Amino acid sequence: MIDIRTFQFGNFVTRTMFCTPEEILEDALLVFDENTAALFPERSLRNSIVLPSGEKAKNWQSIDKIIKGAIDASLGRDGCFCGIGGGVICDMTAFAASVYMRGCSVILVPTTLLAMADASLGGKTGIDYEGYKNMVGTFYPAQEVRYCPDLLKSLPDREFLSGIGEVIKTAMLGDRELFRYLKENRDLIMERDSDTLKEIIKRCIMVKGNVVEEDLNEKGLRAILNLGHTFAHALESVSGFSDWSHGEAVAWGLLMAIETGVELEITDNYYALEVRKMLEYYNFQLYADVDTDKLIQAMNQDKKKKDGIINFILQKNIEDTIIRPVDSDIIHSVLKRNRDKAGDM
């Protein structure tokens, strides 16, 4: 294994590293979904749990299955859970570990670009509840996160592209060189060149890790990592977690955040155009034919709402991010304009 960096997240220490496929399986309770289990036939020789794949499995029933598996394996508080999968598996495995015997060790092995770029690092855990995204969860960083870019070669194209949405978000927030790198190396990225993927994964880890080191529990700075996500989570909820992948919804949400900033005369117009071009360059769907009122209703259930007010993450320019409330009439106008364009296509 090759160390990337060790982070201090509050009282938690998280070691990040690149590894080979042979270095993934651990003497632990292994948690897979149906897709990742197929990549490791030797898992049958160890204690393992296989959950259904996809966002719809992100529920109490899956947590119950993980905890029952730990009990059946006689796992003590000094035991370890190892989640091997995308963001859903990473979130659920760490959540189960955080509540099992009041907390035991967890190692995460993200197998999607989205999970490598974002979900696996920083300690946010959770499940969806009553149709709302990540409504129940904890802050519980993994002791180790192991990154194996070779696993990305097996991803379906749509799933791989989904991760690019989070990579673009990360570049917008904290790495203008990564933004440039995404423009100049699209072909290598889409060909899944190992060295190119290592570069973007490492840069995403650094941006997110630096933010979370300052604010593990999202009391202030960490909230900027939700750029585009208030819109994205609403779209996912209204669409029943089926029509849009998380990364696709994030890409759409990034455009909505940028267009909201333009509407408020906060966001630089040239930068807004560059973001749109980047999203188009990677062929993201940028228009959603979804009921505007239902989207706003879903936003009003957002767990980040405080004192009845939703604070939106907006940008003046790249690496220049602000948090502020936005009048619902502005949000309605931006969403309606987007829906009207979807209807014209």
Both tokens assigned to 24: 């993934």
- Find all residues with CB under 8 Å of 219, minimum gap 6, and list them: none
What DSSP string describes 130-163?
A: TTEEEEE--B---SEEEE-GGGGGGS-HHHHHHH
Domain residue ranges of the chain, discontinuous segments joined by +: 2-214, 227-344
pLDDT value for 307: 63
Confidence tier at 343 by pLDDT (50, 70, 90): confident
Both tokens assigned to 300: 């009003």
Q: Which is nearest to 236 in space by CA: 279, 67, 12, 228?
A: 228
pLDDT value for 133: 84
- Active centre residues (catalytic): 102, 124, 166, 208, 218, 222, 226, 229, 233, 246
pLDDT value for 308: 63
pLDDT value for 301: 78
Q: Which residues pair with 306 in a beta bridge?
A: 309
What DSSP string describes 243-291?
A: SS-HHHHHHHHHHHHHHHHHHTT-S-HHHHHHHHHHHHHTT--------
Which fold is adopted by the domain 227-344? Dehydroquinate synthase-like, alpha domain (1.20.1090)
Mean pLDDT throughout 169-187?
A: 98
Which architecture does CATH list for 2-214? 3-Layer(aba) Sandwich (3.40)
Mean pLDDT of the chain: 94
User: For 118-171, what is each residue's pLDDT tens digit?
Assistant: 999 999 999 999 888 889 999 999 999 999 999 999 899 999 999 999 999 999
Confidence tier at 304 by pLDDT (50, 70, 90): low
Triad 113, 273, 329: Cα angle to 5°:
95
What's the Cα-to-Cα distance from 24 to each of 15, 40, 77, 80, rounded to whole Å? 14, 10, 22, 14
Q: At residue 255, what is the residue type? A: L
Confidence tier at 344 by pLDDT (50, 70, 90): confident
User: For 211-257, what is each residue's pLDDT tens digit?
Assistant: 999 999 999 999 999 999 999 999 999 998 888 999 999 999 999 99
pLDDT reading at 287 higher than 60: yes
pLDDT reading at 305 higher than 70: no
Helix-, strand-, coil-residue percentages of the chain, each rounded to 5: 55, 20, 30
Least confident of 61-70, 252-261, 300-309: 300-309
Mean pLDDT throughout 49-62?
A: 95
